Structure 1
Amino acid sequence: MLMSVAIALKPTGLDVKEASSGEDALAKVQAGLKPRMILTDLNMGGMSGIDLVKAVRGLPGMGFTPIVLLTTESQEDMRQMAKSAGATGWLVKPFDADKLVALVRKLVP
């Protein structure tokens, strides 16, 4: 999935940083990485995407960073849970590369 996302986002010219897990992503942000946007899977081993959203939102300066969840889940209750945690958006997998790029361009001017 990481490779698919990186390939889809290459045309944007953005500097894409990857993390192997939610814990890895959180550690990178805690260590000083200031992403313009975070794209995470909902279901990961260990920390879930919703847990990552909550943790990132609790960090200084990360209150308004767009965070989008990628998931196979399409249930409304899961979307509401993500929104309540602070997620900006939701994209159902398998994702359309053009839609992902359009979303990124909208959220990262």
Structure 2
Amino acid sequence: MAHILVVDDSSTVRNEVGDFLRKNGLDVTLAVDGRDGLEKLKGDSRIKLVVSDVNMPNMDGLTMAEKIRSELGNSAVHIIMLTTENSPIMKERGKAAGIKGWIVKPFKGDAVLATFRKLVGV
């Protein structure tokens, strides 16, 4: 089954999103920042969707997305930002990195569940 990687430095948000997705029958892996997310993505080819915060220590979500595309050469995984950031400049940077969507927190799972399922093919 396809996996979703949830990347957020806030354990509250990370667990809220992960728990919601699991309760709705999706497999989830959690990561604490962009660096951790990148490593987990490298090690698990089942991951089809990354849902990530932007502002995190060690490696932010946009840098992680850029590295997914450039260093890993992975253009197949879908990336969605879940963040408080709403800056047009950041959104443009995300678009250039191949980000599929930009969701402003708070997380409203019911509003995005069908889209997430479509992106992972279930």
TM-score, normalising length: structure 1: 0.88
- Asked if 1 retains the 8 angstrom alpha-carbon contact of 2:33 and 2:59, the reply is yes
- Give unmatched runs, 5+ long, in structure 2: 1-12
Are positions 1:69 and 2:69 aligned together?
A: no
In the comparison of the two structures, how many residue pairs are matched? 107
Moved over 3 A (4+): none
Letter in 2 for 1:43: N
Q: 1:85 aligns with which of 97, 102, 110?
A: 97
Structure 2 residue matching 1:25: 3-state secondary structure: helix
CA–CA separation in structure 1 for the residues paired with 2:75 and 2:24:
24
- Partner residue, 2:44: 33
Q: Which has the higher strand share?
A: 2
Are positions 1:47 and 2:59 aligned together?
A: yes
- Partner residue, 1:4: 16
- Asked if 1 retains the 8 angstrom alpha-carbon contact of 2:48 and 2:76, the reply is no
- Partner residue, 2:7: none
- Asked if 2 retains the 8 angstrom alpha-carbon contact of 1:8 and 1:100, the reply is no
- Partner residue, 1:108: 120
Deviations 1:55-78 (A, max 9, x none): 111214x21210111110123222
CA–CA separation in structure 1 for the residues paired with 2:37 and 2:119:
19
Q: Identity over aligned residues, as a percent?
A: 37
Letter in 2 for 1:104: F
Shift of 1:8: 1.8
Q: 1:94 aligns with which of 96, 106, 109?
A: 106
Structure 1 residue matching 2:30: 3-state secondary structure: coil
Letter in 1 for 2:80: V
Alignment RMSD, CA only? Answer: 1.4
